[in-house]
Amino acid sequence: MATEVTVPTLGESITEATVGEWLKQPGDAVAQDEPIASLETDKVSVEVPSPVAGTLSEQLVAEGDTVEVGAVIAKIGEGAATGEPAAASATPEEVAQPAQDPGPEAEGISDESGPVTLSPAVRRAVLEHGVDPSKITGTGKDGRITKDDVIAAAKAKDSAPAAKATPSPAPAPSKPAAKVATTGERKEERVKMSRMRQTIAKRLKDAQNTAALLTTFNDVDMSAVMEARAKYKDVFAKKHGIRLGFMSFFVKACALAAKDVPAVNARIGGDEIVYHDYLDVSVAVSAPKGLVVPVVRSADAMSFAEIELTIADFGKRAKEGQLSMEEMQGGTFTISNGGIFGSLLSTPIINPPQSAVLGMHRIEERPVAIDGEVVIRPMMYLALSYDHRLIDGREAVTFLVRVKEALEDPMRLLIDL
């Protein structure tokens, strides 16, 4: 008797999701609690585990389909898989088809380490680009090959120099060969937006339509922070098991500045202003399908080590798609670090209902005037985007100045100045 696999509860107020990828195919053996599919919600990817051990006998929905919580998406049969699922009776048309090399579209492709399981989307990409999946190193969960891995391998193959072949002697042409004009192919690819990308697009546009967005800038000399990191990084790592990064300095500096300018850490609720006596920092981290913003709660009360450990854990689990909805809800202020991608300057967009976001950027050596002399210092541009309905320009500038002062003299973070 087959056991039904249903869409699990996805979190408060979330009633549906999109089937992102089938991790198991009909005929595959599955263990109890082994993931068989991944679902995309507005913010995270959720894996659907098998409720029993057995064989995946049927997929009732396709990748890209929208499914509701509690919907049946697959069935698990009893017993272990013995190979490919039994074929249905062939029609005369099917019998008449000549046998073809199954190639990489088979459910799995074997290499020296065993079978390589491919999702339908990945198999289509393998066929389209003509690459050998057994030679691709997967970057997906548990080393699975993704569509991006296939495209990257195809690009690498195309850019590799063609092997020199020994030319065979050709008969001399009776007349000069005509030059044949070649035209390059122009291709388009249409890919359905993921649910997460659709939500990001909607929220960002809503923020532009609702808030009176404005951005103010400043720059900060990062010498003191870099010297502190260089001096204490080994001792810090040995004691806390995590490296001392820049984010803990910025989080602490923002917590200090928010005490002087509480409007930056507030929000508009109807015709009221809601102030918070805590700082819950949404930290933008990169995930396979876009940026996500898990929340470091009560960051103002955390130590440097606690902040670094929390953010490192968020970053690791974001790449694995293991963040929960609860971890990305709330937040009173956002910090986004575009500098890790090389950004010099940007105007970040607030994350509603928050009223402000701080944008960090790359550090680069620039000439600056100090005490009447031009010196070279490691400088970073800071950008504060804010909702002008709540935060005045004076408050925004004051907040950035407080952050700048704390970073250029980190002792202020210790003595709460």
Parallel/antiparallel/unpaired status of strands 333-337 and 281-283: parallel
| Residue 289 to residue 270: CA distance in whole angstroms | 33
- Confirm if 236 and 305 have CB atoms less than 8 A apart: yes
Enumerate the H helices of 43-91 as residue ranges.
Answer: none
| Residue 310 to residue 2: CA distance in whole angstroms | 42
| Residue 409 to residue 402: CA distance in whole angstroms | 11
| Residue 103 to residue 153: CA distance in whole angstroms | 17
- Confirm if 117 and 17 have CB atoms less than 8 A apart: no
> Which element (helix H / strand E) includes 402?
helix 393-408
Catalytic, out of 33, 148, 206, 388: 388
Distances in Å between the Cα of 40 and the Cα atoms of 20, 44, 60, 149, 203 are: 6, 6, 17, 20, 17
**Residue 9, SS3?**
coil
Query: Which of 213-241 are b and which e, b meaning 16 or more Cβ less than 10 Å from the residue's Cβ?
Result: bebbebbbbbebbeeebeeeeeebeeeee
- Whether residue 129 lies in the annotated active site: no
List Cβ neighbours of 50 (8 Å cut-off, separation of 6 or more). 5, 24, 30, 31, 32, 33, 34, 35, 36, 56, 76
For residue 302, give both structure tokens: 């955390």
For residue 39, give both structure tokens: 């679902």
List Cβ neighbours of 274 (8 Å cut-off, separation of 6 or more). 266, 267, 268
DSSP string across 275-338:
--SS--EEE-EEETTEEE--EETTGGG--HHHHHHHHHHHHHHHHTT---SGGGS--SEEEEEG
Strand-pairing partners, residue 365, are 378
> Which element (helix H / strand E) includes 235?
helix 223-240
> Which element (helix H / strand E) includes 358?
strand 356-360
List Cβ neighbours of 296 (8 Å cut-off, separation of 6 or more). 251, 280, 281, 282, 283, 302, 307, 310, 311, 314
- Whether residue 276 lies in the annotated active site: no
Known catalytic residues are 388, 392
